[in-house]
Amino acid sequence: MNGYDIFAWIVLLVLVASAIGVFCIAGWLPGHIAKTRNHPYAQAVMVAGWITLICGFALWPIAFVWAYVDVPAPRRAGDA
């Protein structure tokens, strides 16, 4: 094994670790945003972020947008 082989293995390990890190951050981010914004469905947003990411990333942006959606307050009987 020469120096180039060792360098190649180090680069490969760094790339794999970076990919795993990005995957974990992307799954965690919608739930974290919803929780910090006191979203009433923060737990559901968190689950949606992980499930959609694991199942192919196609619907992950929907979970991300859902984390930012403000839920309107319910109307009271006297409000017009």
Sign of CA dihedral 18, 31, 61, 51: positive
For residue 58, being part of any structural domain is answered with: yes
**pLDDT tens for each residue of the chain, 80 residues long:** 788 899 999 999 999 999 999 999 999 999 999 999 999 999 999 999 999 988 888 888 999 999 999 777 677 776 65
For residue 31, being part of any structural domain is answered with: yes
Per-residue HEC secondary structure of the chain comes to: CCHHHHHHHHHHHHHHHHHHHHHHHHHHHHHHHHHHCCCCCHHHHHHHHHHHHHCCCCCHHHHHHHHHCCCCCCCCCCCC
For residue 3, being part of any structural domain is answered with: no
For residue 15, being part of any structural domain is answered with: no
For residue 45, being part of any structural domain is answered with: yes
- pTM attached to this predicted model: 0.77
Specify the pLDDT at position 80.
59
Q: Domain range holding 60?
A: 20-68
Query: What's the number of domains the chain is made of?
Result: 1
